[in-house]
A and B are shown apart, each in its own frame.
Chain A
Amino acid sequence: MAYKNFILVCGGTGCESSRSDEIYKSLIREAEALGVSHDVQVVKTGCFGFCEKGPIVKVLPSESFYVEVKPEDAHEIIAEQVIKGREVTRLLYRKDKNAETTKLEDIEFYQKQFRIVLRNCGVIDPESIDEYIVRDGYRALEKVLFEMTPEEVIAEVKASGLRGRGGAGFPTGMKWEAARKSPGDIKYIVCNADEGDPGAYMDRSTIEGDPHSILEAMVIAGRAVGANFGYIYIRAEYPLAIERLKIAIQQAKNYGLLGKDILGSGFDFDIEIRLGAGAFVCGEETALLQSIEGKRGMPRPKPPFPAVKGLWGKPTVINNVETLANVPVILTRGAKWFASIGTDKSKGTKVFALTGKINNSGLIEVPMGTTLREIIFDIGGGIRNGKKFKGVQTGGPSGGIIVEKDLDTPISYESLTALGSMMGSGGMIVMDEDDCVVDVSKFYMAFCVDESCGKCAPCRIGTKQMYGLLDKITKGQGEEADLVKLEQIGKAMTKASLCMLGGSAANPTLATLRHFRDEYLEHIRDKKCRAGKCKDLVVYEIDPIKCIGCGLCARHCPVPCITGEKKKPHVIDGSKCIKCGECFVACKFGAVVKR
């Protein structure tokens, strides 16, 4: 017995609510009625991520993609497609009403994602160099070594419009050119894999899934700027990524793709791994170089830029993992192709680690110019448990929160900065109504207090002072004047800090103050946290009408501060309560209320 067709019915929450279960049942019923239940299997699947056109039904192997299917359509799908082998054209997805139906292979399909950086992730075995090679791996290197001059390589990267994916967005080609033009016979290429934002794991996944793309790009960069040595600076807490890099380096050496006289071209290039101890500041390029040199990781003023005076005083190119992963594709597919993707000033794609209160958390890659709404609601499948969207934090502790009204902004370096956030490295944390903005700002500020290297006063003192003020507000001891102080210190820190750690540390606080000032004032004036996150402002009480006196809350209370006779309403002693919330979770009757 073998099925000839498979009908996949989307069983995601969006489609479930639009009657996908009925469709599933009627498809099975129709298949039986028409006597073809041995030829076709009907299965329920996970979310296809195209919920606004749901319910979705997909037929394999023909790859027919049906949208807005109704239970009444089941008969036609079985009768036409399964029995006669003809697609039900009226149900096929069309980009707009007049367009021809779209085939699955078409790029502008329902999938909003487009994978350049992650092209091999989840496709090849990362520990097999042959699998990388067969998927155009090291083809760009062939071109660079045998068909192009270094100047042509730089011109191509410049023409592609590729900009640094570590966050700041400096044009990669210009960085390479500056390093090429800097005098000196010893130059270095450094790959910055010191990914440290809370909630970000783009670089880790890229290295774990496709380590050779980074190695290939580093050799290309070396050839372009005239460097013969490269370092990959990666944090020690990424053991799997390090392991796979080591394997990849060894394989490349064995094949003669690293080392002396690469592929007989006469060009030498070698790579070593340097482990970081996990200090956030070492993601800043000058601090990173100090750390490679074996010194304490602290930034220094720029200029001179590393492209002029970098590692051991030599011209050095520092590129982020994601930036490098784009390079081989730019050279094989051409700058023109790459520049056709994205917006006017931000070309190509961006990888985001989508996390937080979202249904489909994951690692995603979208063309620049995609809107946040598409990312959160189409790819991400919306907010978990039907809660209300509150904001999305991009750029981690250096970024800001973006609110509902700005969700339709197409993503680019400039547009996110204009919204008071930043592209950052690509962490994207979605918050819902249960998140308190003051608490979130305090969390990021605490992170910056810990991670500030202490070299410059604005950052060392500013982060600490801002943290103190935020802490005061979450404890209900804040004053309105504190908000002015927060803004003053924040602005001073932004202007006067030595590096971007301090320069951006105030961003989350300043952004929330701008968008959610009323919530700050609520904490200060009414001693109230509407999300119920700020423990000191929450009061737990028992509703005497709902309470049946089962005593479950009292048994869970660790203090204990809940008393009452059996079968009679219990009472919480507010003076003893430590606000752990155990009673709230334990009560089966919703009698414990949070105020």
Chain B
Amino acid sequence: MAKMTLDQLRALRAQKQEELEKRTVEGKDIQVIVGMGTCGIAAGAKQTFDAIVAALEKHNMAGKVVVRQTGCMGLCYVEPTVEVVMPDMPPVIYGKMTSDVAEELVVKHLIEHSLLDNHIFDRPAVDIVKH
């Protein structure tokens, strides 16, 4: 995009806001968000990320799911962390998501709509930016 004016910036924000409310990214309504700060990466988040992508391919889910990265959620003791946001399911943050749990995540949570045992952790604080 070329340099913006004030009005263009405001328009962009409004447009993105709308997309956010629809909860779709690139037309896909399931989001898998991997925490990829230095701490997450050190604990194997890159391998987890790749394993999730591979598991999605394997189970023909790639067309419905967008896998994204984010920074540190602060839960260093249970890295890698993965958040799943999808319709008809509460948003959930999973900890200790090493690459070997990736397929279980895709099958159980994304396909069978059930939660994984012993991996759920709490978002550490309320979101002050929520609209």
Q: Which of B1, B13, B83, B116 has the most C-beta atoms of chain A within 10 angstroms of its own C-beta?
A: B13
Stretch at the interface among A83-91, A113-121, A516-524, A526-534: A113-121
Query: Is the beta-carbon distance between A122 and B125 smaller than 8 angstroms?
Result: no
Question: Which residue in chain B gives the minimum CB-CB distance to A126?
Answer: B71
Q: How many residues of A contact B (CB 8 A)?
A: 73
Contacts of A122 in B (CB 8 A): 35, 70-74, 81, 83
Query: Is the beta-carbon distance between A263 and B16 smaller than 8 angstroms?
Result: no
- CB of A345 within 8 Å of the partner chain: no
Question: Which residue in chain B gives the minimum CB-CB distance to A63?
Answer: B90
Question: Which residue in chain B gives the minimum CB-CB distance to A43?
Answer: B115
Interface string of B74-96 (1 = CB under 8 A from A): 11111001010000101000011
Query: Is the beta-carbon distance between A115 and B120 smaller than 8 angstroms?
Result: no
The one of B6, B20, B120, B129 that contacts A263, using a Cβ cutoff of 8 Å:
B6
Contacts of A259 in B (CB 8 A): 3
Query: Is the beta-carbon distance between A142 and B115 smaller than 8 angstroms?
Result: no
Interface string of A241-285 (1 = CB under 8 A from B): 100000000000011110100011100000000000000000000
Given A119-B129, A121-B74, A364-B74, are A46 and B6 also a contact pair (CB < 8 Å)?
no
Give A365 to B20 CA distance when docked, in angstroms: 26
Question: Which residue in chain B gives the minimum CB-CB distance to A244?
Answer: B71
Stretch at the interface among A162-170, A204-212, A389-397, A560-568: A204-212
Q: Which of B107-126 contact A (CB under 8 A)?
A: 112-122, 124-126
Query: Is the beta-carbon distance between B74 and A120 smaller than 8 angstroms?
Result: no
Q: Which of B51-105 contact A (CB under 8 A)?
A: 68-78, 81, 83, 88, 90, 95-96
- CB of A130 within 8 Å of the partner chain: yes
Give A139 to B129 CA distance when docked, in angstroms: 12
Interface string of B31-49 (1 = CB under 8 A from A): 0000101110100000000
Given A61-B90, A111-B124, A255-B1, are A208 and B72 also a contact pair (CB < 8 Å)?
yes
The one of B68, B76, B88 that contacts A362, using a Cβ cutoff of 8 Å:
B76
Query: Is the beta-carbon distance between A134 and B17 smaller than 8 angstroms?
Result: yes
Given A41-B115, A43-B120, A119-B129, are A209 and B77 also a contact pair (CB < 8 Å)?
no
Contacts of A45 in B (CB 8 A): 118-122
Contacts of A126 in B (CB 8 A): 69-71
The one of A63, A119, A264 that contacts B6, using a Cβ cutoff of 8 Å:
A264
Question: Which residue in chain A gives the minimum CB-CB distance to B79?
Answer: A362
- CB of A329 within 8 Å of the partner chain: yes
- Least CB distance, B108 to chain A, in whole angstroms: 10
Contacts of B10 in A (CB 8 A): 142
Given A121-B74, A122-B35, A263-B9, are A136 and B129 also a contact pair (CB < 8 Å)?
yes
Query: Is the beta-carbon distance between A125 and B68 smaller than 8 angstroms?
Result: yes
- CB of A44 within 8 Å of the partner chain: yes
Contacts of B76 in A (CB 8 A): 355, 361-363
Give A238 to B39 CA distance when docked, in angstroms: 12
Contacts of B129 in A (CB 8 A): 119-120, 123, 135-136
- CB of B26 within 8 Å of the partner chain: no
Question: Which residue in chain B gives the minimum CB-CB distance to A60?
Answer: B90
Contacts of B77 in A (CB 8 A): 359-362
Query: Is the beta-carbon distance between B38 and A204 smaller than 8 angstroms?
Result: yes
Contacts of B73 in A (CB 8 A): 121-122
Contacts of A139 in B (CB 8 A): 13
Contacts of B88 in A (CB 8 A): 2
Stretch at the interface among A3-11, A226-234, A307-315, A460-468: A3-11
Given A60-B90, A209-B37, A256-B3, are A44 and B117 also a contact pair (CB < 8 Å)?
yes
Q: Which of B9, B20, B96, B125 has the most C-beta atoms of chain A within 10 angstroms of its own C-beta?
A: B125
User: What interface size band does chain B fall in?
Assistant: 35 or more
Contacts of B4 in A (CB 8 A): 255-257, 263
The one of B2, B39, B119 that contacts A205, using a Cβ cutoff of 8 Å:
B39
Question: Which residue in chain B gives the minimum CB-CB distance to A142?
Answer: B6
Interface string of A281-306 (1 = CB under 8 A from B): 00000000000000000000000000
- Least CB distance, B29 to chain A, in whole angstroms: 15
Given A107-B126, A111-B126, are A138 and B70 also a contact pair (CB < 8 Å)?
no
Given A61-B90, A263-B9, A362-B76, are A134 and B70 also a contact pair (CB < 8 Å)?
no
A-B contact count (CB 8 A): 177
Query: Is the beta-carbon distance between B5 and A263 smaller than 8 angstroms?
Result: yes
The one of A3, A46, A105, A127 that contacts B114, using a Cβ cutoff of 8 Å:
A3
- Least CB distance, A63 to chain B, in whole angstroms: 8
Question: Which residue in chain A gives the minimum CB-CB distance to B81?
Answer: A122
Contacts of A46 in B (CB 8 A): 78, 95-96, 118-122
- Least CB distance, A25 to chain B, in whole angstroms: 13
- CB of A174 within 8 Å of the partner chain: no
Given A41-B114, A41-B115, A114-B125, are A133 and B13 also a contact pair (CB < 8 Å)?
yes
Question: Which residue in chain B gives the minimum CB-CB distance to A366?
Answer: B125
- CB of A457 within 8 Å of the partner chain: no
- CB of A124 within 8 Å of the partner chain: yes
Question: Which residue in chain A gives the minimum CB-CB distance to B120?
Answer: A45
Give A254 to B128 CA distance when docked, in angstroms: 28
Q: Which of B38, B74, B76, B120 has the most C-beta atoms of chain A within 10 angstroms of its own C-beta?
A: B74
Q: Which of A43, A259, A365 has the most C-beta atoms of chain B within 10 angstroms of its own C-beta?
A: A43
Query: Is the beta-carbon distance between A115 and B125 smaller than 8 angstroms?
Result: yes
Given A60-B90, A240-B37, A360-B77, are A209 and B16 also a contact pair (CB < 8 Å)?
no
Contacts of A118 in B (CB 8 A): 74, 125
Q: Please name the 7 residue pairs, one residue from A and one from B, whose CB atoms are nearest each other, closest first.
A: A209-B71, A256-B3, A122-B73, A45-B120, A60-B90, A113-B125, A363-B74
- A-side residues, CB < 8 A to B, are 1-3, 6, 8, 11, 41, 43-49, 60-61, 63, 105, 107, 109, 111, 113-116, 118-127, 130-131, 133-136, 138-139, 142, 145-146, 201, 204-205, 208-210, 238, 240-241, 254-257, 259, 263-265, 329, 333, 355, 359-365
* Given A43-B120, A115-B128, A255-B3: 17 more A-B contacts, CB < 8 Å: A6-B115, A46-B78, A60-B90, A63-B90, A114-B125, A114-B126, A115-B127, A120-B71, A123-B70, A124-B71, A205-B37, A238-B38, A254-B2, A255-B1, A360-B77, A361-B76, A363-B72
- 29 A-B pairs with CB atoms under 8 Å apart are A6-B115, A41-B114, A43-B115, A43-B116, A43-B120, A44-B117, A45-B119, A45-B122, A46-B96, A63-B90, A113-B125, A114-B126, A118-B74, A119-B127, A121-B73, A122-B35, A122-B72, A124-B70, A133-B9, A134-B16, A135-B129, A204-B38, A205-B71, A208-B71, A240-B37, A254-B3, A255-B9, A256-B4, A355-B76
